[in-house]
Amino acid sequence: MTVNEIAKVLEELAPLAHAEDFDNVGLLVGDPKMKVEGVLVTLDTLENVVEEAIEKKCNLIVSFHPIIFKGLKRLTGSNYVERVVLKAIANNIAIYSMHTALDNSKMGVNAKICEVLGLKNPEILIPRAKSIKKLITYAPMADAKQIKLALFKAGAGDIGKYSNCSYSLEGIGSYKAENGANPTIGKIGEVHFEKETQINVIYSFEKEKSILKALFDAHPYEEVAYEVLTLENTNQDLGMGMVGTLDSEMDEKAFLLSVKERMNASVVRHSKLLGKKVKKIAVLGGSGAFAISASKKAGADILVTADLKYHDFYQAENQLVVADIGHFETEQFTKDLLVDYLTKKIPNFAVSLSESITNPIKYL
C-alpha cells in the first residue's frame, strides 16, 4: 500500500475536514505515492520515535500530535522540530498527523477515554456547529429514485443510527430551452411543464464535493436545479468531548481514584468535592477548560480533562467537579485505538505500537 492509500483508510475514521481551523493535520512529511513497508503509531513524533521507526523498518509514522504546527522558515536542526523533520527526510520516512480530526471523531480520542473509564452510552459533549448541510434538488418523477440512491451511495441521508433518509414532494416544474440548449425533455423555444419530485437530503459538510458529483452524474437534465443550505441542527456524530454514565453511582473521591488508576495518572488536580454520588461523567482529552460550561449544561457530575489553569477551577461553581489528570494521560491510549483500527482495516500489514516514551512532564 502507498502512503496515500493508508491515509484514505485513516480518513474513514477521522476525515481531515473535521480538524479545527488552527490545526495542521494530514501528511506533513513524505511522498504520498511512496510504498509503505511498515507503520509505526505514536502520540508524538520525536527523535527517539523516528529512530524506533528506523529500527523497526517502518517508513510511515502515524502520529496524533503534529510535529509541524507552525510554519518552518528554515531546516538547520536548531530545535527538536527541525531535527525530527530532517531525520525523517534523511531516512525516507513519512509522517502523518491526525490530532483534532480524531478529537472530533465519535470513535476517536474521547470514545477511547470513555471505554477505559467504563462509561456507557457516550454522546458528543460539544457538537460541531454548522456542520450539517441540506441539499434540495428537483428531478423528473421517473428519475427520482435513481438520483436518491446515487446520493445515498455518496454519503447523503445519514441521521444518527439511520441511513438513506430523504423527503420528497411532488409538483410541476417549468422551463424553456433557449437556442444552443440540449434539453433531455422538451423542445427548443417552447415552455415545457414537467411533473417533478423535489428531493431533500442532509449530509455532513465534508461530503459535499462527492455528493454534488453524484447528483450531476445521476441527473438527466443538462442544467441541474439545486440548493445547498447550512443547518443549525445538532450533529450527533461530530464534535469535541463526550459524556457518558457509570453503571452505578460512585463516591466522588472513589471515582477520581479509579480514574487515576485506569488512566495511569501520577496526580489528579480537582476542584472542591461536593459530597455527592456521581454517575454522569464528561471527558475531553487534552486541553479542556473550554468544556466546563458544556459539561455543566449537560448535567455532568465530573469533567475529566487536562491543562486547567488556576482560575479554571473556579468555573466549577459547585455545580460539578473538574479534574485535571494531565495532557499526556488523557490521550495516551489514542495510539492503541489507532493500532487496533489499522490492524482491523488492513490485516496482514505491519502496524506497530510505538514503545517510545514521549511524555515531556515528570513528577517527583
Give the number of C-alpha atoms closer than 13 A to the C-alpha of residue 66, restricted to the C-beta side: 22
Report the b/e string of 249-278 with b at 16+ CB within 10 A.
ebebeebbeebbeebebeebebbeeeeeeb
- Tell me how far apart the terminal alpha carbons of the chain are, to the nearest angstrom: 45
Closest Cα to residue 44, out of 352, 332, 349, 339? 332
Q: How many CB atoms lie within 10 A of CB 296?
A: 17
Q: Which three cell numbers stand for residue 10?
A: 485513516
What is d(CA 320, CA 243) in angstroms, rounded to the nearest whole number?
A: 13
Element (H, E) at 3: helix 3-13
Confirm or deny that 311 is annotated as ligand binding: no
16-240-49 Cα angle (round to 5): 55
Residue with cell 455532513: 204
What is d(CA 14, CA 27) in angstroms, rounded to the nearest whole number?
A: 14
Confirm or deny that 247 is annotated as ligand binding: no
Element (H, E) at 297: helix 292-297
Length of the chain: 364
What is d(CA 93, CA 63) in angstroms, rounded to the nearest whole number?
A: 12
Three-state SS at 58:
coil
Q: How far is CA 30 from CA 94, 101, 177, in A?
A: 4, 20, 51
Confirm or deny that 65 is annotated as ligand binding: yes
Annotated binding site: 65, 103, 327, 331
Annotated binding site for a divalent metal cation: 65, 103, 327, 331
